[in-house]
């Protein structure tokens, strides 16, 4: 028996043979103004093909623009073919196959405006604007759409694509037709399950009509919505849909879970466990005879390998992990699993898209910017000092080493990691912990000279004469002016296990740190009261992360006090004013999560001495991992 991992063995979908079983899952990219693929997007996908991925599935290409008006990517007209053809050629040069995802529409999920209703199978509320009712598609509309889907597939085939994937999941239009909660029709497209699947079946049929039955069609669909409300799909019905799709002629099924109401069950967050969607793929695999593609935090190669060996699915789809590290497949092949840059489930890549921006990544500053942010070797081997060993400082040091610079990293404590050590401490944040370990491991493998327990002074830095200096000294926790504040402790030592919390705890501060600290204390069996002066403020996260945190709070035993102004922190209780009245909450441990302020004094002192430096990360202003890592990378890239 071969020792070769199943992940790296050849696989087949219909008549398409793949060099391995690693699939890049579909994720939207912003194309040119007309919806065609931009040079930036082409290079983004090409980088994943260079990395050894067997099958690359694009994000959705709108087959029909008449009902949407705008789409990030479109494949509705002949003029889209030339750029898609370039993409196909680029991927084929590295042995990857191209699957173009096409779709009939977004339906109620389309983000239009508060006055422009989207279209759907029935006159149902828009997701983003619940007071806006969708327009119902007529039978003539349906026939027009399904024909356009077929034509779109023909354009993909003409461009050299190896397959198409039908966009039929996650409560988008095709899924709305299949869902009782949304489909209230009484004609041939509503009522029974067979009728509700008919719209998608006719899309499959249209592709066969335009491209022939041998042209590979994958259908990505949602067998279970993971929402316990009437009309939303249970797994039993989803399995029956899988059987019907096989009968309609699908060559493979790509299994999704969730819906927009619980978006984190569809696009997982840092808070989900690995393999969180496997149960659905396993049920579908048992019911059909065609290949099944599974997804959902399968980022660890050894875990993905087990999924294949257990027969749970035939192919492993990785979405955000491909954004974080395009070389995933190559590193598996080279037995360099420990060098895979892990996705941390922050979903910043998803969040920035809602602002109309290109994909960005917290841990990979070049994601979807490969064409913009290339590193050039430093011919002079400049000397670089990085002060601070958090994620921004380590990223700067690693980038300098990659450019061939002579790098020193000074860290004032005895460990690298900075605030990541606290951010990744709770069990539900282990993805951040993995990233911290990855950075430390890469520093150890690099040519960076690390000086631990080294307090930097402006005079010493000036005397050392480094060519470049990067200041990544981080931030310090705020101490609010509350009487008795000396009786409280900060969140970071609590999260790191450096403080043994009492049985009853009060957390002051309702931002992301306060919420996660409260959830951590609840998870270890403490009685927790989470307090905030106004309302909880963790909305500066991707919507699926916000949904997940909200549901985690609802499922916890945490008492939440909003609009509570702290008056005094005692050794055993905290007094608050709420709604004009005073109340006292027992607290053996009071935890402060009241924000941070930057530690930039060193940079100011260097400035006075005439030493130029780059100030990055929390030392510039307390923000997120994506800011620190990006600034660390670009500070060195520009040198």
Query: If you search the block for the tokens 């043979």, which residue do you land on?
Result: 17
Spatial CA neighbour of 527 closest among 507, 498, 511: 507
172 classed as catalytic:
yes
Q: 284, 239 in Cβ contact below 8 A?
A: yes
The one catalytic residue in 44, 151, 172, 260 is 172
∠ CA 132-238-191, nearest 5°, is 55
Give the pair of three-digit tokens for residue 420.
């990541």
592 three-state secondary structure:
strand
Q: How far is Cα 18 from Cα 233, in angstroms, rounded to an integer?
A: 32
User: Pairing mode, if any, of strands 573-578 and 581-586?
Assistant: antiparallel
Spatial CA neighbour of 340 closest among 304, 376, 392, 386: 304
Give the pair of three-digit tokens for residue 320.
């955000």
Query: If you search the block for the tokens 């994506």, which residue do you land on?
Result: 626
Q: How far is Cα 466 from Cα 451, in angstroms, rounded to an integer?
A: 15
Which of the 8 DSSP states describes residue 503? S
Which three-class secondary structure string do you get for 325-338? CCCHHHHHHCCCHH
Which of the 8 DSSP states describes residue 128? S
Phi, psi of 295 (to 5 degrees): -150, 180
Which three-class secondary structure string do you get for 537-559? CCCCCCHHHHHHHHHHHHHCCCE
Q: So which residues are the catalytic ones?
A: 172
């Amino acid at each position: 028996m071969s020792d070769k991992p199943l992940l790296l063995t050849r696989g087949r979908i219909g008549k398409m043979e793949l060099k391995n079983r690693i699939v890049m899952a579909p994720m939207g990219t912003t194309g040119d103004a007309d919806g065609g693929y931009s040079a930036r997007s082409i290079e983004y996908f090409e980088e994943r093909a260079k990395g050894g991925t067997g099958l690359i599935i694009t994000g959705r290409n709108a087959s029909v623009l008449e009902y949407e008006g705008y789409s990030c990517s479109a494949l509705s007209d002949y003029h889209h073919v030339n750029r898609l053809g370039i993409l196909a050629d680029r991927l084929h040069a590295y042995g990857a196959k191209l699957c173009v995802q096409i779709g009939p529409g977004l339906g109620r999920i389309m983000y239009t405006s508060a006055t422009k209703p989207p279209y759907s199978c029935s006159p149902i509320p828009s997701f983003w604007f619940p007071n806006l009712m969708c327009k119902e598609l007529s039978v003539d509309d349906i026939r027009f759409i399904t024909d356009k889907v077929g034509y779109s597939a023909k354009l993909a085939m003409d461009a050299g694509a190896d397959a198409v994937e039908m966009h039929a999941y996650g409560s988008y239009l095709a899924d709305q037709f299949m869902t009782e909660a949304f489909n209230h029709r009484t004609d041939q497209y509503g009522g029974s399950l067979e009728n509700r699947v008919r719209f998608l079946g006719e899309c499959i049929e249209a592709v066969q009509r335009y491209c022939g039955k041998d042209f590979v069609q994958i259908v990505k669909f949602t067998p279970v919505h993971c929402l316990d409300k009437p009309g939303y799909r249970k797994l039993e019905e989803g399995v029956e849909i899988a059987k019907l799709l096989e009968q309609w002629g699908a060559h493979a099924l790509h299994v999704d879970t969730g819906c927009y109401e619980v978006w984190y069950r569809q696009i997982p967050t840092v808070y989900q466990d690995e393999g969180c969607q496997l149960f659905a793929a396993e049920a579908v695999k048992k019911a059909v005879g065609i290949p099944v593609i599974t997804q959902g935090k399968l980022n660890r190669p050894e875990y993905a390998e087990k999924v294949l060996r257990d027969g749970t699915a035939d192919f492993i789809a990785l979405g955000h992990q491909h954004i974080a590290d395009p070389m995933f497949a190559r590193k598996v092949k080279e037995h360099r699993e420990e060098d895979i840059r892990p996705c941390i489930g922050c979903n910043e890549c998803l969040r920035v898209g809602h602002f109309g921006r290109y994909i960005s990544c917290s841990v990979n500053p070049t994601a979807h910017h490969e064409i913009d942010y290339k590193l050039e070797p430093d011919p002079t081997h400049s000397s670089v000092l990085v002060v601070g060993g958090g994620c921004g400082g380590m990223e700067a040091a690693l980038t300098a080493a990659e450019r061939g610079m002579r790098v020193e990293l000074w860290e004032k404590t005895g460990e690298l990691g900075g605030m990541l050590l606290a951010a990744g401490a709770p069990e539900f944040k282990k993805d951040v912990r993995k990233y911290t370990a990855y950075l430390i491991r890469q520093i150890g493998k690099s040519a960076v000279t690390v000086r631990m327990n080294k307090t930097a002074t402006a005079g010493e830095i000036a005397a050392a004469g480094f060519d470049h200096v990067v200041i990544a000294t981080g931030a310090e926790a705020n101490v609010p002016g509350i009487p008795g504040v000396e009786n409280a402790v900060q969140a970071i030592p609590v999260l790191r296990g450096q403080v043994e919390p009492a049985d009853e705890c009060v957390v002051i501060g309702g931002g992301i740190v306060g919420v996660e600290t409260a959830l951590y204390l609840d998870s270890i069996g403490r009685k927790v009261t989470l307090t905030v002066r106004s309302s909880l403020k963790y909305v500066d996260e991707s919507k699926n992360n916000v949904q997940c945190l909200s549901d985690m709070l609802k499922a916890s035993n945490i008492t939440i006090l909003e609009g509570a102004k702290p008056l005094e922190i005692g050794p055993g209780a905290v007094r608050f004013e709420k709604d004009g009245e005073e109340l006292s909450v027992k607290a053996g441990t009071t935890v402060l999560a009241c924000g941070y302020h930057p530690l930039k004094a060193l940079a100011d002192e260097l400035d006075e001495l005439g030493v130029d430096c780059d100030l990055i990360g929390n030392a510039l202003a307390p923000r997120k991992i994506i800011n620190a890592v990006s600034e660390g990378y670009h500070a060195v890239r520009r040198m």
